[in-house]
Structure 1
Amino acid sequence: MTDAPRHRGAALDAWAAYRRLHLLVDGAIARDLEQNSGLSMPDYEVLAAVARLASEKTCVRVIGLAAYMHWDHSRLSRQLGRMQQRGLIAREACELDGRGDDVVLTEAGRQTYDRATPAHLASIERHFTSLLSAQQLNALTGIAHAVAALR
């Protein structure tokens, strides 16, 4: 006799726990982010990704940004359009090779990102990292790496 049915139950329990954790933590952090900065979680994720990639002195093209963020190209394009209308990002010719448009933070986008980051990090601490031991954080990081390695 195998323990497959018992393992299947544990797997489903783990999946349900992950989904609940994801919804609870993401929801709390997203609410804090919106209240503190007026940014949605996708807004912040795009600003953070553009800031990071731009600091590496590479052109930040939509296709590269989508791959970096693991987002669908059309989803990112729609998000960038909304953010461009609000003055948070712009599209400019890439200075490194001049072949295409680069996604860049505007001054307003940079300031918004810089103001939002400390409160966002505090929210992550309050709703997530401070609630876990170092061992739990390490285990979770290991789980994330194991799952991501299969992608």
Structure 2
Amino acid sequence: MTEHDVPWLDEREMRVWRRWLRVQTDLQAALGRELSRDSGLSLQDFETLVWLSEAPDERLRISALAERMHWERSRLSHHLRRMSARGLVGKEGCKEDGRGSFVQLTDAGRKALDEAAPEHVRAVRRLFLDGVEGRELEVLEGFLERVLERVAETETETETEVAVG
């Protein structure tokens, strides 16, 4: 494909694309500021605690948590180390295979999550969901699902290329 074959964005598409990028950045920043102010947790802390709270026995293998959060394992390990130092999570070896590790929600982590969740949900509603009217939520959900499917397809294609390459 040459430069002339590229289907460049028209003015409206560019405006929507740039607005989408700004929404991602500004919404995450606003939610992060409010969460930090209200609870001392970062969005990443909160997401980690939520995933653990929803897991059986409030624990997951670190590799499974990394996959769910779409994080590199090394990034998650560094983050978990910081959370562990604050008493929010604990780590234990995997008795089944001896190689992996589990991360466990601690009582302090559960308390932090329980205290942070109500204000965070209010912020999500106020900044995001309250702006959705009528059928827009259904349309938005369908649109986001299609985007995620396309992204997943490119991840699969990349993994296949790496395996074959």
The reply to whether TM is greater than 0.5 is yes
Which segments of 5 or more consecutive residues in structure 2 lack a partner in the other structure? Answer: 1-6, 153-165
Q: Summarize deviations over 1:67-98 as a string: whole Å, max 9, x none.
A: 11111111111110110111100012457x46
* TM-score, normalising length: structure 1: 0.85
Instruction: Flag the structure with more relative contact order, 1 or 2, with Cα contacts below 8 A and sequence separation at least 6.
Output: 1
The correspondence of residues 36-75 of structure 1 with structure 2, limited to 5 A, is 36-54=38-56, 60-75=60-75
SS in 2 for 1:144: helix
Residue 34 of structure 1: aligned partner: 36
Structure 1's unaligned 5+ residue stretches are none
How far, CA to CA, are the matches of 1:91 and 1:28 in structure 2?
A: 31
* One of 8, 19, 22 as aligned partner of 2:21: 19
Amino acid at match of 2:144: A
SS in 2 for 1:63: helix
> Match of 1:20, SS?
helix
Larger Rg over CA atoms: 2
- CA drift of 1:27 comes to 1.6
Report the TM-score when normalising by structure 2: 0.78
Task: Please list the CA deviations of residues 40-81 of structure 1 after superposition, one character each: whole Å capped at 9, or x if unmatched.
Answer: 1111011111111235x7x61111111111111111111101
How far did 1:139 drift?
1.8
User: In structure 2, how many angstroms separate the alpha carbons of the residues matched to 1:93 and 1:77?
Assistant: 14
Alignment partner of 1:71: what SS? coil
1:88 counterpart = 2:88: yes
Amino acid at match of 1:23: T
Identity of aligned residues (%): 33
Between 133-142 and 15-24, report the one with greater CA deviation.
Answer: 133-142
